[in-house]
Amino acid sequence: MRSRGSLRFFVAAVVALGAPALVTLLHFTTLHAAVPGLLYIVAIVLATIVGGRNAGLVAVAASVFPFFHYFTTRYDRGNANAEGITATLVFILAALFVSEVLRRESLARERAEEAVAASAIALDSASRLQTAADALATARTPQEVLDAVLSEGVRAAEARSGLIATLSDDGEWLDVIAQRGYNPDSIAPYQRFSLAGNFPLSEAVRTGEGVFLSSGKEQDERYPELVGGMQPRHALVCLPLVGHAGPIGGLVFSFASDQEFTPERRALKLALARQAGLALERSLIAEKEEKLRERISFLDASTALLASSLDIDEMLGWLTSLAVPELADWCAISVVSEAGLIESLAVAHQDPERRRWAEETQRRSIPVHIDDDFDLTARVIRTGEPIFLREVPQELLDEAAERDPETAHALEEISIRSAITVPLSSRSQNLGALTLVAEEREFDDDDFELAQQLSARAAIALENARLYSETERRADAALALAYVGDGVVLLDEAGRVRFWNAAAAAITGIRSEDAAGRAAEEVLPSWAELARIAELADAASPSRARSVTLPLETADGDRWVSVTGVAFDEGVVYALRDVTDERALERARSDFVATASHELRTPLAAVYGSARTLRRSDIELPPDQRDRFLEIIESETERLTAIVSQILLAGQLEEGRVDLATAATDLRGLAESVLDSTRVRAPAEVELKLDPGDDSTVALADEDKLRQVLVNLLDNAVKYSPDGGEVAVELGSAPGLVTLTVRDSGLGIPPGEQDRIFEKFYRLDPALTRGVGGSGLGLYISRELVSRMGGRMSVRSRPGEGAAFTVELPAA
Ligand code: ADP
C-alpha cells in the first residue's frame, strides 16, 4: 500500500514539474504566446488528474513564471506590459479553475467508487451470512452446525479448520463435540479444557467477546500455554456461542496463514457465531429430545419386558441384556446371601466368551461381605445410595488389585473407564445392586439417571417375582397342610385356634370353620388334657419334638391320638396323628398271643393227658379206651398243626412269599370233597348241603389254596352256628365270574364289624361268639388268597340270622 502511494506521489511530482518544463522548451520555437499558454493549462490539468489538487497547484506554480517570462514578454523582455500581466492573470485563473473542476470531478468519482466497493463488501457479507443462516437452519447436529459455518460462512475467510466445544453441565469445562480439518492427534490434548484456563476459547466464552489472533506469534505471546501445541500455527479466531439462556460453548477457526482482521471481518464472524450459537442450541435441544425419546422408549420396553415374567433368573437375564450394549459394556447384578456375602447373580457382556470368562473370574474371587468398607457394591447395598464414578480413579483399581489377585488378573484383561452402581431397592429393603461399566467412554449424567430409572423398575419387577414365589411357596405349604394325613392345629398365644386342617377335622369330627377363632378347650373339651400332657419342643429344634399318645374324646367316640407340639414366638403348632387303628392292631396282637396260647394249650393238654394215661402201667386200659386216647392224640395234633400252619401262612402272606399257580378248577368237585370232609367233623345238628346252580362252575384258581379258603369258611359257618342249622355252599356265575357262597344260619355279624373281621387277628367280642375259640387269622388269610387269585371276597350278614360269605373268581 505504502509503495503504491509513494509511486503515485512520484509520478504526480514528475508530471507537475516536468510538463510545465516541457512546455517552456517551446520558447526556442517561433510560436506565439497563445499556444504555449494553452499547453501550460493542459500540463496543469494533467498534473491535477495524476496528483490531485496539490500537484495541480505545483504545476500552476511551475507554469506561471516561465509563461510570463518567456511568452508574454517575448518581444519586450525588459517591460512588463499590461497585456502580458493580464494574460498571465487570466492564465492563472483559468489554470486554477480548470484544476479545481477536475479535482472535484475526480473526488466525486473516487467517492462513488468507494461507495460501490463498500456496498459490494456489505452485499458479500450479507450474502455469506444469509448462506450460512440457510445452512444453519437445517443443521440438526453439532457437526452439521460446524460444517455449515465452515463450508459456507467462512469460505471467503480461508479458515483451514474449525471446532465446536460445549460447556459441561457444571459450567466448568469446555468439551469438544465436533471438529473438522484438524489432525486428530494434535487435537487430542484439547478434547476437554478448563473454562477458567488461559486459553483463547476459554477467554472468548468467559468474556462473551471474540478473540482474534492474527498470527502464531501473537498466540504465543498472549497464551503461553499454547506454546509447543498444535503446529504450524497461524491466525486463530475464537468466538463465544450464545444460546437463549446464555453461553453454551465456543467456536474456533484456524487459518492456514496469518490474517489481518478488519472490523468488517470481525463483525462478520461475530454475526456468524451468533447464528451458530442459536443453531447449536437448537441442535443440542434436538439431540437431547431424541435421546430422551430413545430413553423413554428404552424404559418402556424394559418395563414391558420385566413385567412379562415372574421368574427371577429369566428376569435377571433380560435385565442384563437390556443394559448391554445399549447402556454399558459390562453389566452385573449382585445380591446379598443369607450369610451376608455379596453374590453375583448375573454378569453380561456383548461377547459371550468374555462373559464366560468374567463369570469364571468372579467364581474364583474372594467373597466380599456386606460390611466391607472398600467394596463399592457392598456399600451401595448397605446404604441404598448409588455411586457414580465418571472417571474411575486409578488408585481405586490399584487397591482392588492389591486386595485380590483374581481381580488384579481381571484388571489386566479389561479396562474400566467409567462405572455406575445403583441399588435395587424395594419398599422394604435393598435387594441388591446393578453395576454398569464402560470400557472406553465416560458415562454422563443422563446415563446415571437412566441407570437409576432402570434399577427402580428392575427392583419392582424383582420384588414382584420374589413375592410371587413366596406366595407360591405359601400356597404350596397351605396345600400340603390341607392334604397332609396328620392333623395340624395352630394355636395363638392366647390358645385360640388359628388353623385347623382337614385331617384335624377328620380326627376330631370338628370342622375347621367351627374351630377357627375359638379357644381350643372350647372346641374340644379334652384338649385341656392333651395340652397338659403334650411335651412342647422349641422352635429352634422342632425335630426334637417327642410324641405322646393319648385318648381324645370326640363326637365319633374315643380316638387314640399321637401328639407332638412345637412352641414358637406366636403360639404353638400341634401335629395329631390318629393311631386308633395301630392301637387296635397292637391290642389284637396281644389278644392273639393270649388266644393262641389258650388255643394251643387246650389240644396240648389233651395230648399230654392221653399220652400219660396210655403210659400208665398200674392200670390195664381196655382196648377201646386205648383207641379213644390215641384218636384224641391224633385229632388234637391235627388241630395244633392247623393253628401253627395258619400262623405261618399269615406271616408268609405278609411278606409276599406265597406262590400261587392258577388253573381251571371245577368248583363243584372241590365243594363236594370239602363238604364231605367237613361233614365228618361237624356236629350232628348242623346240616351241610351243596346248591350247585345251573351254570358252569369252572374258575381260574389255585385249587389247593381255594380248598383252604373253603375249609376255613365252612369251619367258621359250623363254628358260629352253635345251635346247629343249615350250612349251604351255593355255586353261581355272573358275566366273566364264578361265585361261591357259604351261607349259614348262625350267630351273624354286626354291620359295624363286617369289614373288620377280615383284618389280621381280628375277632369279635367273645360275648358275641359264645366263647368260640379261634386265631383271628382265617378270614384274613382267605381274603388275601382270593385276591391273589384275582378274585374278591365279601360278607352279608344280619346278627342272629346267619352270614353269607361270597368268593368271586374269574371264570376259566
Ligand atoms: P377265627 O379263627 O376267630 O374264626 P376268622 O378270621 O376265621 O378267625 O374269623 C374272624 C371273626 O369273624 C371270628 O372271630 C368271628 O367272630 C367272625 N366270624 C367268622 N365267620 C363267621 C360266621 N360264619 N358267622 C359269624 N361270625 C363269623
**Residue of 763, 781, 798 to test ligand 1 pocket, by largest number of atoms within 8 Å of CB:** 763
Check whether 301 has a pLDDT greater than 80: yes
Task: Please give the distance, rounded to the nearest whole angstrom, from the Cα atom of residue 478 to the centre of ligand 1.
Answer: 45
Check whether 749 has a pLDDT greater than 90: yes
How high is the mean pLDDT of the chain?
A: 86
Question: Could you report the per-residue pLDDT of 660-718, keeping only the tens digit for each?
Answer: 999 999 999 999 999 999 998 899 999 999 999 888 889 999 999 999 999 999 999 99
Task: Please give the distance, rounded to the nearest whole angstrom, from the Cα atom of residue 757 to the centre of ligand 1.
Answer: 7
Nearest ligand 1 atom to alpha carbon 805? 23
Task: Please give the distance, rounded to the nearest whole angstrom, from the Cα atom of residue 31 to the centre of ligand 1.
Answer: 187
Check whether 36 has a pLDDT greater than 70: yes
Distance, CA of 724 to CA of 722 (rounded, Å): 5
pLDDT value of position 156: 47
Joined together, the cell numbers standing for residue 527 give 384338649
Nearest ligand 1 atom to alpha carbon 781? 6
Task: Please give the distance, rounded to the nearest whole angstrom, from the Cα atom of residue 345 to the centre of ligand 1.
Answer: 69
Calculate mean pLDDT across residues 344-353.
85
Question: Could you report the per-residue pLDDT of 689-700, keeping only the tens digit for each?
Answer: 999 988 888 999
pLDDT band at residue 81 under the 50/70/90 scheme: low
Nearest ligand 1 atom to alpha carbon 747? 25
Name the residue with the closest Cα to ligand 1, atom 21: 716
pLDDT value of position 729: 96
pLDDT band at residue 4 under the 50/70/90 scheme: low
Check whether 87 has a pLDDT greater than 80: no
Check whether 278 has a pLDDT greater than 80: yes
Question: Could you report the per-residue pLDDT of 119-161, keeping only the tens digit for each?
Answer: 887 787 778 778 878 888 888 888 888 888 776 545 545 677 8
* DSSP state letters, 183-236: -HHHHGGGSEEETTSS-HHHHHHHHSS-EEE-SHHHHHHH-GGGTTSSSS---E
Nearest ligand 1 atom to alpha carbon 780? 6
Check whether 586 has a pLDDT greater than 90: no
pLDDT band at residue 230 under the 50/70/90 scheme: low
Task: Please give the distance, rounded to the nearest whole angstrom, from the Cα atom of residue 764 to the centre of ligand 1.
Answer: 7
Task: Please give the distance, rounded to the nearest whole angstrom, from the Cα atom of residue 781 to the centre of ligand 1.
Answer: 12
**Residue of 602, 639, 720, 793 to test ligand 1 pocket, by largest number of atoms within 8 Å of CB:** 720
Task: Please give the distance, rounded to the nearest whole angstrom, from the Cα atom of residue 718 to the centre of ligand 1.
Answer: 10
Name the strand (E) or helix (H) holding 434.
strand 430-438
Name the residue with the closest Cα to ligand 1, atom 16: 764
Sheet holding 792-797, edge to edge: 686-691, 725-734, 737-744, 803-810, 792-797
Task: Please give the distance, rounded to the nearest whole angstrom, from the Cα atom of residue 763 to the centre of ligand 1.
Answer: 6
Question: Could you report the per-residue pLDDT of 751-775, keeping only the tens digit for each?
Answer: 999 999 998 878 888 777 777 777 7
Check whether 166 has a pLDDT greater than 90: yes
Task: Please give the distance, rounded to the nearest whole angstrom, from the Cα atom of residue 649 to the centre of ligand 1.
Answer: 17
pLDDT value of position 491: 94
Task: Please give the distance, rounded to the nearest whole angstrom, from the Cα atom of residue 744 to the centre of ligand 1.
Answer: 12
**Residue of 678, 747, 772, 779 to test ligand 1 pocket, by largest number of atoms within 8 Å of CB:** 779
Q: How do 211-213 and 236-243 pair as beta strands?
A: antiparallel
pLDDT value of position 490: 94
Return the closest-CA partner of residue 341 out of 312, 379, 371, 386.
371
Name the residue with the closest Cα to ligand 1, atom 18: 716
Instruction: Tell me the three state secondary structure of residue 517.
Output: coil
Residue 738 near residue 665 (C-beta atoms within 8 A): no
Task: Please give the distance, rounded to the nearest whole angstrom, from the Cα atom of residue 767 to the centre of ligand 1.
Answer: 13
Task: Please give the distance, rounded to the nearest whole angstrom, from the Cα atom of residue 724 to the centre of ligand 1.
Answer: 16
Distance, CA of 157 to CA of 214 (rounded, Å): 13
pLDDT band at residue 80 under the 50/70/90 scheme: low
**Residue of 718, 757, 796 to test ligand 1 pocket, by largest number of atoms within 8 Å of CB:** 757
pLDDT value of position 801: 93
Return the closest-CA partner of residue 242 out of 275, 212, 203.
275
Name the residue with the closest Cα to ligand 1, atom 11: 763
pLDDT value of position 736: 92
Task: Please give the distance, rounded to the nearest whole angstrom, from the Cα atom of residue 350 to the centre of ligand 1.
Answer: 81
Check whether 299 has a pLDDT greater than 90: no
Task: Please give the distance, rounded to the nearest whole angstrom, from the Cα atom of residue 676 to the centre of ligand 1.
Answer: 21
List Cβ neighbours of 65 (8 Å cut-off, separation of 6 or more): none
Name the residue with the closest Cα to ligand 1, atom 8: 776
Task: Please give the distance, rounded to the nearest whole angstrom, from the Cα atom of residue 173 to the centre of ligand 1.
Answer: 106
Nearest ligand 1 atom to alpha carbon 721? 24
Check whether 634 has a pLDDT greater than 80: yes
Residue of higher predicted confidence among 436 and 95: 436
Name the residue with the closest Cα to ligand 1, atom 19: 716
Joined together, the cell numbers standing for residue 421 give 452402581
pLDDT value of position 665: 94
Task: Please give the distance, rounded to the nearest whole angstrom, from the Cα atom of residue 769 to the centre of ligand 1.
Answer: 8
Task: Please give the distance, rounded to the nearest whole angstrom, from the Cα atom of residue 152 to the centre of ligand 1.
Answer: 119
CA atoms within 13 A on the CB side of 766: 8
Nearest ligand 1 atom to alpha carbon 777? 6
Calculate mean pLDDT across residues 29-47.
79
Preceding amide of 405 cis, omega within 30 = no
Name the residue with the closest Cα to ligand 1, atom 23: 717
Calculate mean pLDDT across residues 188-214.
91
Nearest ligand 1 atom to alpha carbon 742? 23
Name the residue with the closest Cα to ligand 1, atom 14: 763
pLDDT value of position 257: 86
Across the chain, which distance is largest between two alpha carbons, in Å? 232
Give the residues surrounding ligand 1 with Cβ less than 6 Å away: 712, 716-717, 720, 744, 746-749, 757, 763-764, 769, 774-780, 803
Name the residue with the closest Cα to ligand 1, atom 25: 748
**Residue of 646, 716, 777, 786 to test ligand 1 pocket, by largest number of atoms within 8 Å of CB:** 716
Nearest ligand 1 atom to alpha carbon 744? 23
pLDDT value of position 496: 94
Name the residue with the closest Cα to ligand 1, atom 20: 716
Nearest ligand 1 atom to alpha carbon 769? 16
* DSSP state letters, 453-494: HHHHHHHHHHHHHHHHHHHHHHHHHHHHHHH-SSEEEEEETT
Calculate mean pLDDT across residues 484-499.
92
The total of other beta-carbon atoms located within 10 Å of residue 142's CB is: 24
The total of other beta-carbon atoms located within 10 Å of residue 502's CB is: 16
pLDDT value of position 229: 67
pLDDT value of position 315: 80
pLDDT value of position 203: 94
pLDDT value of position 238: 94
Return the closest-CA partner of residue 746 out of 786, 687, 669, 789.
687
pLDDT value of position 505: 92
Task: Please give the distance, rounded to the nearest whole angstrom, from the Cα atom of residue 780 to the centre of ligand 1.
Answer: 10
Nearest ligand 1 atom to alpha carbon 802? 24
Question: Could you report the per-residue pLDDT of 525-543, keeping only the tens digit for each?
Answer: 888 888 888 888 887 777 7
Name the residue with the closest Cα to ligand 1, atom 4: 774
Return the closest-CA partner of residue 512 out of 523, 528, 527.
523
Preceding amide of 692 cis, omega within 30 = no
Check whether 66 has a pLDDT greater than 90: no
Check whether 34 has a pLDDT greater than 90: no
Nearest ligand 1 atom to alpha carbon 774? 2
Task: Please give the distance, rounded to the nearest whole angstrom, from the Cα atom of residue 695 to the centre of ligand 1.
Answer: 30
pLDDT value of position 77: 53
Which of 18-22, 59-63, 317-321, 416-420 shows the lowest per-residue confidence on average (mean pLDDT)? 317-321
CA separation, residue 276 to residues 19, 247, 624 (Å)? 59, 12, 146
Burial (CB count <10 Å: 0-12, 13-18, 19+), residue 556: exposed
Amino acid occupying residue 699: A
Residue 693 near residue 805 (C-beta atoms within 8 A): no
pLDDT value of position 806: 97
Nearest ligand 1 atom to alpha carbon 776? 8
Distance, CA of 91 to CA of 84 (rounded, Å): 10
Q: What percent of the chain has pLDDT over 90?
A: 33
Residue 778 near residue 715 (C-beta atoms within 8 A): yes
Report how far Cα 584 is from the mean position of its chain's Cα atoms: 58
Burial (CB count <10 Å: 0-12, 13-18, 19+), residue 51: buried
β partners of residue 438:
418
